[in-house]
Amino acid sequence: MKETVTILDNSFEEKATCPACEQPLQAGDKVVRCPRCKALHHFACWIGRGSCSTLGCRQLADPSLMPDRPRRVDPQVKDNLLVPKIATVAALLLVIGGLLWSIFGPNPPSESRLIILTKAGDYAMQLVKLGEEFAAGLEELDKVDVVAVPTESPFAEAQNVFDQKMVLMIVGKEPPDIVVIPRSKMNIYVQNEALQPLDDLRAALLDTPVGSLLERGEIDGHLYGVPSGHPDNYLCLPTVAQNSEPARRFILYLAEKLPWAEEP
């Protein structure tokens, strides 16, 4: 049985009270008559309670009368939805940072160095070792700094601390020259023109152990990421990099030295 919804007109003379709020029903009120016990309720009381308020009556409100309730989003799902948004903001900041430096210029560096941003772990330690070897062979480069971001904990992953760290580096005028990021993040950065293409390295990379893997780092026919030797992560050059040329040379160096057998 489905209840009926009506508006009491001026002819309503029945002295009745709503069993839910115990207030009198008056002409002009929007009401619902329970199809089981025939008791009149204020419409708001009926849908607010979700059933008849008469003692002993088990009539439930028709679902079609109930207001839409906001859908509860699982916190984990909410975090997963938020990650691409944060990544997009970080990509936009990369572009904005590049525009600001093109106008005002970066702070003059006290030493010549490359800055690599990657996740913490054994891979970061490999980059530290190879960075020391690379810098030792170049007179124009003092050092390679590897900034390792811990991202293994659920909290770090949910808060996307990697992108937050990159934003802080940009604001502090020490942007990374190379970022090691997964393919999904690389797609977002390319869409926002936040990565430099690496097409000029393609010929040289073909002669390295990574040559057969270059297609994995292509987007729309252009090479934006070089497989890093770490599963599903790529070596990329952000548009705000201050040392693009040494960074390109370091990527070629890594292509020869990193353990590509780890790449799936």
Q: Which CATH number goes with the domain that contains 33?
A: 3.30.40
Question: What does the pLDDT look like over 80-130, one tens digit per residue?
Answer: 444 455 555 555 555 555 555 554 455 555 468 899 999 888 888 999 999
**11 and 105 inside one domain:** no
Radius of gyration of the chain (CA): 32
Contact (Cβ atoms closer than 8 angstroms) between residue 27 and residue 5: no
Cβ neighbours of residue 80 closer than 8 Å, sequence gap 6 or more: none
Question: What does the pLDDT look like over 143-159, one tens digit per residue?
Answer: 999 998 886 665 555 44
- Please give the torsion angle defined by the CA atoms of residues 140, 143, 145 and 146, in that order, rounded to the nearest 10 degrees: 100
The helix/strand count (H/E) of the chain reads as 8, 11
**49 and 114 inside one domain:** no
pLDDT given for residue 251 in this prediction: 94
**Within 10 Å of residue 133's Cβ, how many Cβ atoms?**
11
pLDDT given for residue 168 in this prediction: 81
Total domains present in the chain: 2
Q: Which CATH number goes with the domain that contains 221?
A: 3.40.190.10
| Rounded-to-integer distance, Cα 226 and Cα 214, Å | 6
**Within 10 Å of residue 220's Cβ, how many Cβ atoms?**
7
63 is in which domain, residue-wise?
Answer: 1-69
CA distances from 1 to 36, 83, 137, 142 (A): 8, 48, 86, 83
**207 and 134 inside one domain:** yes
**63 and 85 inside one domain:** no
**192 and 82 inside one domain:** yes
Q: Which residues of the chain have pLDDT under 50?
A: 69-71, 73-83, 103-104, 110, 158-159, 261-264
Which of residues 21, 54, 69 is at a domain's end? Answer: 69
**211 and 153 inside one domain:** yes
**229 and 155 inside one domain:** yes
Please state the pTM of the whole predicted model: 0.60
Cβ neighbours of residue 254 closer than 8 Å, sequence gap 6 or more: 127, 130, 226, 228, 229, 235
Per this entry, what is the length of the chain? 264
H or E element in which residue 127 lies: helix 122-136
Which of residues 69, 103, 122 is at a domain's end? Answer: 69
**57 and 149 inside one domain:** no
pLDDT given for residue 140 in this prediction: 83
**92 and 171 inside one domain:** yes
What is the bridge-based pairing of β-strands 143-149 and 4-7? Answer: unpaired
Which of residues 48, 69, 90 is at a domain's end? Answer: 69
